[in-house]
Structure 1
Amino acid sequence: MLVDADGTGPQDRLRQQLRTREEEGLYRRRLVLDGPQQARVRVAGHECLAFCSNDYLGLANHPGLIRAACEGARRHGVGAGASHLISGHFSVHHALEEALARFTGFPRALLFSTGYMANAGVIAGLMGRDGVVFGDRLNHASLNDAVLGARAQLVRYPHLDLAVLERRLAACRVKNRMVATDAVFSMDGDIAPAADLLALCERYDAWLLLDDAHGFGVLGSQGRGTVSHFGLHSPRILYMATLGKAAGVFGAFVAAQAEVIETLIQHARSYVYTTATPPLLSHVLLASLDLIETDAWRRERLAQLVACLKQEVRPIRWRLLPSDTPIQPLLIGDSARALALSRTLREHGLLVPAIRPPTVPQGSARLRISLSAAHEVEDVRRLGAVLRGLDGA
């Protein structure tokens, strides 16, 4: 085996890197759930009240969707068997794309396996090496990685600082440009000023890519997302949303003008060169879309729970970041302290993840409290009571 001059080999270096990561409080370990995703889950044989899921509408274990999954498997089988461009594009995939386009108010929609792949496909398919992408400093890693993978130029601007963004757009001499942003920021829970961003894109001739992974199903009329929330209509908007969070299932889609979707079908490598998602999932998602549209009580419950949590934690020293979405980050600061609090909460039967760098900036470690329509007000009050006790400990 090859070794370095100091006698270490590649596995030794990996072990040292892992030890260092653990010493810095950045080591991540997976929870293993036994049973479905819901407000109460079983982890290592113990029931816990979970505040760590993106299942915002409580649909991941909905009995109607379970029935739809069984029916979808009977009708369409389990696997797609091929990519969409060979023989893996089923009628139910097509029906879901048409339903998503209607629901979000765009001419066309295109299914992707994940939000990560959707962002990669859009940016590589439309930008490439001759493009410039302007990204918010707190954008999700998938947007940043998509730009790097496309070998486009990435120009970042401070979080929500549109004055800086405008100066950088005005100074740009490259014709092919895009502003890419989280619509709801996944670790802060705040909402991008999409109307103002669109105005800048109109002024400086740029695409606007909105990653609405955490807004779809939650914001806007009947859960139609951030574009509906702001009442936006423009051929410049490229709308991406995921289907494994509020929709409760799996996958992602991009909605846009017909020419954009056709271009992605031809050039988005993360769409072209992968097996299509199981068609049964599209069957389930059609049922999920009906629930998103009709079950207004789920969004009403979320608003009630957000208000309750804010009241519950008001007396404690750690502060919630400003957010009116189901993402409620409790800022702790120190990574080790955030980890310790997360562990203690688990001892009380509460699952609340500690989010640390590099996911969030240095010094801004937090407890990311995620609320779901599956929670009850009493669940939130229980969490608040334990946090107040820990604050006084």
Structure 2
Amino acid sequence: MRISVPGIPQAILSAVSSAPQVSRSEAVERIAAFIKPGNVAVLTGAGVSVDSGIRAYRGHDGRYMNPNYKPILYHELIDKTAKGHAFRQRYWLRSYLGYPPVRDALPNPTHYAVAALQHANFISRLITQNVDGLHHKALVTKAHAHWPPPKLSSSILELHGTLHRVHCNRGHVVDRGTFQDWLSSANPSWFAYAQEMERMGTQPRTNPDGDVAVEHLGISYSDFQIPDCPACLLENHTNTVHKPQVVFFGESIPQSVKEASYDSIDSSDRLLVVGTTLATYSAFRLLKHALDTHKPVMLLNIGPTRADNITGVQKIEYPTGSVLHDVTRNVLGIRAVEDEIVREMLESGIVRPPKDTDDRAPRAAG
């Protein structure tokens, strides 16, 4: 089976962007004017989480920052043979060590700016490709009473799933914290290593999907134990085939999610795309659908994207964190001061990007 990791065509990477250079103040005005009519669908990508310390896959030139990037594919992860078990040992050891930084990450000003616009009903639907859950954190930490779980789940669509839940191949679901505890109990030596790593502040580089490279430690994956699903054991089945509720390369997006993503575009009046190269077709086709249905489309991103030079797409090249906070203040006006929840949101957010975002020096595939 041949499955390629999605990318941006070389012709786009090599082309000079046609997006006009504008001043920061003009960028703020243009984006605010786009949002002010309301009923906006927003599509976000990895770029919005960089200020939270979560590394993006691609740099400002649109190319992978790890040239050896080689994810485990869906068919490899769910393979029931010994070969599949080895793939899962590799995946779960790396993910076990890489998940805590994603779990502990905090929303940045971009997340809170988007949350404020959602709270103020300018953004009617948020679609995110990110699996880190930071958009949820930004809403519930400041406006919990206004965003109970049913409203939250209907307002944020996780296009590629979430790292925060795990399921076995027989459908039993468990929250990721519990699954991490199972892995710790099954692997006491790795638990001790993880504790020491956290104490020393030597967390390995973490990708947006929670994966880390550990080959430099000189370890073998073969001793990593994957626990049986307790619910399956109660049904007299032994089952160690688990995966996070993330859409892997080679896996189809659930039909219900696909339909919901199209419904989000159809029920909105315009589409704002933020912090993504649109390399994956699942995201790019939403932009195409918006254009096909004659919706205005604006793209805020630094560097090449798959939508560059497409007629009907207004592109503004600015880092999201440098403009969206002021965009939100512009859109909300006096409400940004008088609404206590909005004011608190706009005063919140960490800015803690990875220390060296560009990681193109060759390292272990992963």
TM > 0.5: no
TM-score by length of 1: 0.23
Larger Rg: 1
Higher relative contact order (CA 8 A, sep 6+): 2
Structure in which a larger fraction of residues adopt strand = 1
